Amino acid sequence: MPGNLVDGFGRTIDYVRISVTDRCDFRCIYCMAENMTFLPRQRVLTLEEIERSARLFVANGVKKIRLTGGEPLVRQGIVGLCRNISGIDGLRELVMTTNGSQLDRYAKPLVDAGVRRLNISLDSLREDRFRAMTRVGDLHQVIRGIEAARDAGFESVKLNSVIINGSNDDEILDLASFAVDNGLDITFIEEMPLGQVGRSRERALFTSEQVRELLEQRYRLLPSTENSGGPARYTRLQEHPATRIGFISPHSNNFCSTCNRVRLTVEGKLLLCLGNEHDLDLKALLRRYPLDDQPLIAAVRKALRYKPERHEFSADGEVQILRFMNASGG
């Protein structure tokens, strides 16, 4: 029986985020540049290669897989891929992160295909600001998608809000109220310095502690030890126990000591750390050894020895990682 995947610091890797596409129908200001050049098809993992990778990881102890993008729901064949991955023996849960634009069409098929939980990006509730932050997005379309997801039967639906100082920090209470009113969880995320996105990130950091201070003006936050298997730290609202508030704090309170994750990009690069350039070209191995998984898992185990202890993000506005978030697996 294969053993678990363990890095050089003794951390067990049981969570893999897989990007199924670098393409997206939005152009969010913290994720990509306005005029993006996307990968040609021959450089992208096929659906069969993504499924094979998922099976390889699960066979070696991975319990949770998150499908990301880009926007995963623009990848042709995504529902069938979800069905195949969710059926892998030993996988505890298949989850997805989406911008919500396609959920009016896809929410119920995703539930039927075995996706258990859904994260939906929502950074503003103001139509003009939403369009400015996504550059092209339609807020009403996303709200319809959130409603469809809420009604489709997922075990949980959570909103993700990236808070940028001077852009949407004045909507924190409105976003929390929207989550409460709709019986949803919400996580507030500090922006990460990935890729040249066409604007300065200097002074853009709005910390999780600042978010918490604003929330405490309206809610009583109760400490919680709940863990979704990812980097978020959660609190409960005393007045609204059905809603969890999460914080992802790569700058102010990093989560590296308990990191249990790696990312597989749509180009087939296994990223050992979101804030580090080290990777393993898994696609090359998938194509070199189409019938033999042993060289692949041996290479993964060797690469994990070099997974860094922590990332080194700073808040000075400097871009420290050149790849864009849409190319990193969300």
Q: Which positions of the chain have pLDDT values less than 50?
A: 1, 195-199, 201, 317, 319-323
Burial class of residue 256 (count of CB atoms within 10 Å of its CB; 0-12, 13-18, 19+) = middle
Angle at alpha carbon of residue 246, lines to 241 and 247, rounded to 5° = 150
Taking only the tens place, the pLDDT of each residue in 217-236 is 999 999 888 887 778 899 99
The whole-number pLDDT of residue 319 equals 43
Class of domain 5-327: alpha beta
Please, where are the H alpha helices in 68-220?
Answer: 78-86, 103-112, 127-134, 139-152, 172-181, 208-215
User: 196: which 2 tokens?
Assistant: 């040249």
Strand arrangement of the beta sheet that strand 115-121 belongs to: 221-223, 233-237, 240-248, 185-190, 156-163, 115-121, 93-98, 64-68, 15-19, 261-264, 269-271, 279-281
The whole-number pLDDT of residue 317 equals 47
The whole-number pLDDT of residue 321 equals 47
Cis peptide before 70, with omega less than 30 degrees from 0? yes
The whole-number pLDDT of residue 269 equals 96
The whole-number pLDDT of residue 285 equals 98
Domain ranges of the chain: 5-327
